[in-house]
Chains A and B, each alone.
Chain A
Amino acid sequence: EDQVTQSPEALRLQEGESSSLNCSYTVSGLRGLFWYRQDPGKGPEFLFTLYSAGEEKEKERLKATLTKKESFLHITAPKPEDSATYLCAVQKGAGNNRKLIWGLGTSLAVNP
């Protein structure tokens, strides 16, 4: 069964304390892995797409990596404004047959 699991469910960091969020998946025929950020009361906001194992992408304090079984979202020296829920989604199929399998998210709180 296709499944996407994110861990931990919740994470509390001190400002400047680096850490990583995990997204593990059992999806056959991965066509892409997406990371989103969701602030309270808002819709998810796109961060990164990764397509193949070994790929890495960076944006400010965030770096996403991908292996054949999981993806990590590394947060370096986080700030309070990085507090949000981070969602991972895996795509299988393409075009009109595309399907996204979503994880439940990791709720991150960064204390000043």
Chain B
Amino acid sequence: NAGVTQTPKFRVLKTGQSMTLLCAQDMNHEYMYWYRQDPGMGLRLIHYSVGEGTTAKGEVPDGYNVSRLKKQNFLLGLESAAPSQTSVYFCASSTWGELFFGSGTQLSVL
């Protein structure tokens, strides 16, 4: 039972480069989320989705875009990476209750 799978686990980018983080869940959950976690800041919601084909902004959406073309997948894109986007990124999914998290992507932007 895979649960929530994130790829890649680690990535180093140069300022201005772009990349896509992939999240896949096999629990048939409607809701999916992208968070970033930084020391002293806790978990902050970037974007979320309440169902296939929907996306919405969270607390810190600037510099990120998302897509949910299939119910099981939620993609997070960085069009032009900045050092301020150095962070650990977590994807999560849920029904109406608790969130299930992936193992995270550690991203460094130089």
Contact = CB atoms under 8 A, between A and B. Distances in A.
Nearest to B35: A102
Nearest to A44: B101
A95 B51 CA distance: 11
Contacts of B45: 100
Nearest to A45: B101
Contacts of A98: 31, 96
Interface residues of A, number: 20
Interface residues of B, number: 20
Interface in B1-56: 4, 31, 40-45, 50
Contacts of B98: 34, 46, 49
Contacts of A49: 97-98
B60 interface: no
Contacts of A41: 103-104
Interface string B85-105: 000001010001111111110
Say whether chain A's binding surface is mostly helix, strand, loop, or mixed: mixed
A104 B102 contact: no
A102 to B, nearest CB: 5
A44 B90 CA distance: 9
A78 interface: no
A42 interface: yes
B103 A96 contact: no
Contacts of A45: 101
Contact of A42 (B31, B96, B97, B103): B103
Contact of A43 (B40, B44, B97, B102): B102
Given A102-B42, A102-B43, A46 B100 contact: yes
11 contacts: A41-B104, A42-B104, A43-B101, A43-B103, A44-B99, A46-B99, A49-B97, A96-B50, A100-B99, A102-B42, A104-B41
